[in-house]
């Protein structure tokens, strides 16, 4: 049962790859389309083969058409389509269209002839019993059916071995130099194909053994299918890794940064909540479900929203209040970074109070350009660090006294002590 679930998954994965390549085929220039078409054809054949192999589909196909064991010959034909198309695909990837076609036409002719021969042998064998997966162990020595199966697995094994050889050889050629993910994909594909070669080999041996009254059905019923199961995921991975492999380091980095992004997103919450009443309409709406779970995206928009609100608060920031706050902060035992954070946090708190009262400042302060000397790719990191330090200061209960004291003249040292942050 688990084999059949796996077959469904392999068919879905293959069709997803075909859909991606079909989009590439439509967007590609006419000269490049012959290199993409065999991959789509091969993928469709693989998907059909996996789906028909599932008894739920294969048995019902036989019943629907009224042709006993039709699913067997369908799998035989589409397998030849996949093996032939796979070799043609590699030829077009490696060589010019003119050179590739000289070899491709022979491969297509040979595997087309093999597919036709299988159909003819199947018909000459007479109507078989309505079997599906049991066909291989029931008729290996039967006239015409045995030859049909032997031809199928021999052609399959030789073709798969040639694909593995072509993939591995290509990784050593100058055309793949500097294309690390393509080389990895070709090697993974070659390894996956070799499992298919092993499957075809042991099954072919089991069929031939029955012609000499030897029962090696264990090879075709257990060993072979197990090897074939290992082949499909490796081939799918190898064929697709040049597309998503280059993005993998970025995805890994995002995964590694996820805890820090969640932490800073939460640290900014007090400052974000305090500023939100300035203009709630500026809150970015997460329209996609996936974006709700992307901590880096949510953090990015939280930083943007806070900065937008701070921009709207600028008319309420007073230079006199800023100077008064600075005088009191000098009395506190703070590092330069802490002093800067408390300075900005207190100014924001005072500006919010002025905003709530509707009192614009007559002496608007100039907001410092934090991180202006930073390189562009460090700008967001610098702003993120600055705002998280301000948010940390914003949570200090002593900040209320510091912001309130900024509206009154400096009176005495005792007033300084009462207003300094804890």
Q: Is the pLDDT of residue 173 over 70?
A: yes
**Does the residue 252 lie in any domain?**
no
**Does the residue 260 lie in any domain?**
no
Q: Is the pLDDT of residue 417 over 50?
A: no
Q: How much is the mean pLDDT over the chain?
A: 83
**Does the residue 319 lie in any domain?**
yes
- Counts of helices then strands in the chain (DSSP H, E): 18, 0
Q: Are residues 235 and 292 in the same domain?
A: no
- Decide which of 78 and 134 is more confident: 78
pLDDT in tens, 23-59: 888 888 887 788 888 888 888 998 998 899 888 898 8
Q: Are residues 277 and 174 in the same domain?
A: no
Beta carbons within 8 Å of 27's beta carbon, 6+ residues apart: none
Q: Are residues 41 and 161 in the same domain?
A: yes
Q: Which of 108-122, 265-279, 286-300, 360-374 is predicted with the least confidence, judged by mean pLDDT? A: 360-374
Q: What is the domain range of residue 369? A: 268-419
The alpha-helical segments, DSSP class H, found in 212-318 are 217-218, 224-244, 248-267, 269-275, 295-313
The CB density around residue 204, as the number of other CB atoms within 10 Å, is 22
Q: Are residues 120 and 233 in the same domain?
A: yes
Instruction: Tell the burial category of 320 from Cβ atoms under 10 Å away from its Cβ (0-12, 13-18, 19+).
Output: middle
Asked if 92 contacts 166 with a C-beta cutoff of 8 angstroms, the reply is no
pLDDT band at 375 (very low <50, low <70, confident <90, very high): very low
Distance spanning both ends of the chain, measured CA to CA:
66
What gap in Å lies between CA 237 and CA 162, rounded to an integer?
Answer: 19
Closest alpha carbon to 169 in 151, 187, 181: 187
Of 213, 246, 279, which closes a domain?
A: 246
What gap in Å lies between CA 419 and CA 422, rounded to an integer?
Answer: 9
Q: Are residues 305 and 354 in the same domain?
A: yes
| Domain CATH for 75 | 1.20.1070.10
**Does the residue 178 lie in any domain?**
yes
**Does the residue 230 lie in any domain?**
yes
Q: What is the mean pLDDT of residues 254-283?
A: 88
Q: Are residues 26 and 159 in the same domain?
A: yes
pLDDT in tens, 292-319: 678 888 888 899 999 999 999 888 888 8
Q: What is the mean pLDDT of residues 266-276?
A: 91
What gap in Å lies between CA 159 and CA 87, rounded to an integer?
Answer: 8
Beta carbons within 8 Å of 397's beta carbon, 6+ residues apart: 422
Q: Is the pLDDT of residue 413 over 50?
A: no
How many domains does the chain contain in total?
2
**Does the residue 398 lie in any domain?**
yes
Of 246, 277, 299, which closes a domain?
A: 246
Q: Are residues 232 and 272 in the same domain?
A: no
pLDDT band at 217 (very low <50, low <70, confident <90, very high): confident
Task: Identify the DSSP state of 335.
Answer: -
What gap in Å lies between CA 80 and CA 151, rounded to an integer?
Answer: 11
Q: What share of the chain is helix, strand, coil (3-state, %, to 5)?
A: 80, 0, 20
């Amino acid at each position: 049962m688990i084999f059949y679930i796996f077959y469904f998954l392999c068919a879905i994965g293959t069709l997803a790859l075909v859909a991606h390549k079909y989009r590439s085929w439509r967007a590609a220039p006419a000269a490049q389309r012959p290199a993409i078409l065999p991959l789509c054809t091969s993928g469709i054949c693989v998907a059909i083969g996996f789906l028909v192999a599932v008894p739920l589909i294969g048995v019902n196909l036989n019943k629907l058409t009224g042709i006993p064991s039709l699913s067997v010959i369908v799998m035989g034909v589409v397998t030849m389509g996949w093996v032939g198309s796979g070799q043609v695909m590699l030829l077009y990837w490696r060589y010019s269209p003119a050179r590739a076609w000289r070899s491709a036409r022979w491969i297509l002719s040979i595997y087309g002839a093999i597919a036709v021969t299988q159909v003819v042998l199947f018909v000459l064998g007479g109507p078989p019993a309505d079997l599906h997966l049991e066909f291989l162990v029931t008729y290996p020595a039967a006239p015409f059916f045995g030859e049909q199966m032997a031809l199928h697995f021999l052609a399959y094994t030789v073709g798969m071995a040639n694909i593995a050889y072509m993939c591995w050889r290509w990784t050593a050629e100058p055309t793949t130099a500097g294309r690390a993910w393509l080389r990895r994909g070709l090697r993974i594909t070659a390894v996956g194909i070799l499992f298919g070669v092993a499957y075809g080999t042991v099954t072919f041996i089991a069929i031939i053994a029955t012609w000499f009254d030897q029962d090696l059905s264990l090879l075709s019923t257990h060993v072979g299918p197990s090897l074939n199961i290992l082949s499909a995921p490796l081939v799918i991975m190898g064929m697709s890794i040049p597309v998503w492999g280059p993005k993998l380091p970025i995805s890994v980095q995002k995964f590694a940064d996820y805890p820090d992004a969640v932490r800073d997103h939460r640290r900014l919450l007090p400052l974000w909540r305090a500023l939100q009443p300035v203009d709630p309409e500026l809150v970015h709406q997460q329209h996609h479900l996936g974006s709700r779970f992307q901590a880096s995206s949510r953090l990015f928009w939280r930083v943007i929203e806070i900065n937008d609100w701070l921009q709207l608060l600028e008319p309420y920031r007073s230079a006199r209040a800023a100077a008064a706050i600075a005088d009191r902060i000098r009395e506190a035992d703070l590092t330069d970074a802490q002093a800067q954070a408390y300075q900005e946090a207190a100014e924001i708190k005072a500006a919010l109070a002025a905003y709530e009262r509707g009192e614009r400042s007559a002496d608007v302060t100039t907001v410092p350009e934090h991180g202006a000397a930073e390189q562009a790719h460090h700008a967001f990191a610098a702003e993120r660090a600055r705002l998280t330090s301000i948010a940390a200061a914003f949570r200090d209960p002593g900040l209320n006294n510091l912001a309130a004291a900024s509206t009154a003249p400096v009176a005495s040292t005792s007033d300084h002590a009462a207003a300094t942050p804890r």
